[in-house]
Amino acid sequence: MMRKEFHWLLNEFVSDVKLPIYVTLEGHTRKHIERLFHDHTSSEIAVVVRGSAIHLLENRLIGDRKNNYALEQVTIRKGDVLVIHPGVTHCYDQTDDFELLNIVYDTQQLAFPHLDCFDMPFFHVLFPQGAPGDPAEQAHPVMRLDEEQLNAVLLQAQRLQNEIALERAGNLFVSMTLFLECMAMISRYLPQRENEPEGRKANFLIGAAISFMVRHYAEKITLDRLAKQVNMSPRNFCRHFRNATGSSPMEYLNNIRLTHALLMVQDSAVGIEEIAGLCGYSGNSHLYRMFRAAYGVSPREYRKGKRAAVQENCPPSPAGIIDLSCTSAPPR
């Protein structure tokens, strides 16, 4: 059985008028609590600032109908970086000299333009576009920072923590800027590994394929063309893409195109047939079919004012696109 003793809720530490981001340094003034098994409703970056500890993570045994759990035990030391996503129960043990920097963030409430962030291989680990993968992997550090890198991350996290605590004009904008700078900094510290396991290396390549879709969605894009971008066979590409995002490559591409089409239908006087061409569809009827399947109305019906129906049936915005049609941030 699972040992969960505590359910960590971000909204208990962050007010409604602040970004869903929380920064804390644990073990700095008193010993870190040992063996407090807990889970999160949000994602967490944990950086070991000082000392060492045992990271314990419970992983449900595959195929076990009795819900038994295996206990993953990994020694973590100064400079190690963990990334823990919702649904994982974990804790720390042997924390006598242990100090931990936590950056907690809710990916479902943070809407921002991804641009070319997926060109940085590590970014998809921080912001997974589908299921984050095998929970057991989250027991292990994703990287180890050297002294200079660790000090740089600590300084940036301190700036972020100080800004979040302020009450002044532009606080949300500056907080988001500092948070993204921190994410980019950590992402760029990931070393390139020559003998990386196929699955993890493939997931990094999926980010490059998504970036290509975002830049070239208006062009004719085939599965073969996408697979060639990352030097995979179409079959392997489809398998790794679905593992990383939860959808097929062409479904993902269609969501990108639909998001742009919806914006153009909503905010421009451009004809529907022209919109179809600008968004990469083969013709007017193709756009109509995809649009109605996703939103429940045709482009013309939507333009005539039936937008309420769209809000009730709004698909997730794909990577690289700010939430254009929904009133709340899309799930990631």
Note whether 174 and 257 are same-domain residues: no
Q: How far apart are CA 70 and CA 136, in angstroms?
A: 9
Q: What is the pTM of this model?
A: 0.56
Note whether 286 and 180 are same-domain residues: no
Kind and range of the H or E run holding 43: strand 43-50
Regarding predicted confidence, which is higher, 311 or 160? Answer: 160
What's the whole-number mean pLDDT along residues 316-327? 40
Q: How far apart are CA 67 and CA 111, in angstroms?
A: 35
What's the whole-number mean pLDDT along residues 41-58? 93
What's the whole-number mean pLDDT along residues 155-173? 90
Smallest CA-to-CA distance from 58 within 83, 96, 87 is with 87
Note whether 203 and 121 are same-domain residues: no
Q: How far apart are CA 234 and CA 245, in angstroms?
A: 16
Q: How far apart are CA 70 and CA 57, in angstroms?
A: 8
What's the whole-number mean pLDDT along residues 232-257? 87
* Residue 1 resides in a domain: no
* Residue 166 resides in a domain: yes
Note whether 167 and 25 are same-domain residues: yes
Q: Is the pLDDT of residue 316 over 60?
A: no
Distances (CA, A) of 296 to 263, 268, 299, 307, 309: 16, 20, 10, 10, 7
CB 203, CB 134: distance < 8 Å: no
User: Based on the structure, what is the number of domains in the chain?
Assistant: 2
Distance of CA 23 to the CA centre of its chain: 18
The lowest-confidence range among 48-52, 190-194, 216-220 is 190-194
Q: Which of 161, 188, 215 is the last residue of a domain?
A: 188
Domain span at residue 292? Answer: 197-332
Note whether 175 and 208 are same-domain residues: no
Q: Which of 188, 214, 237 is the last residue of a domain?
A: 188
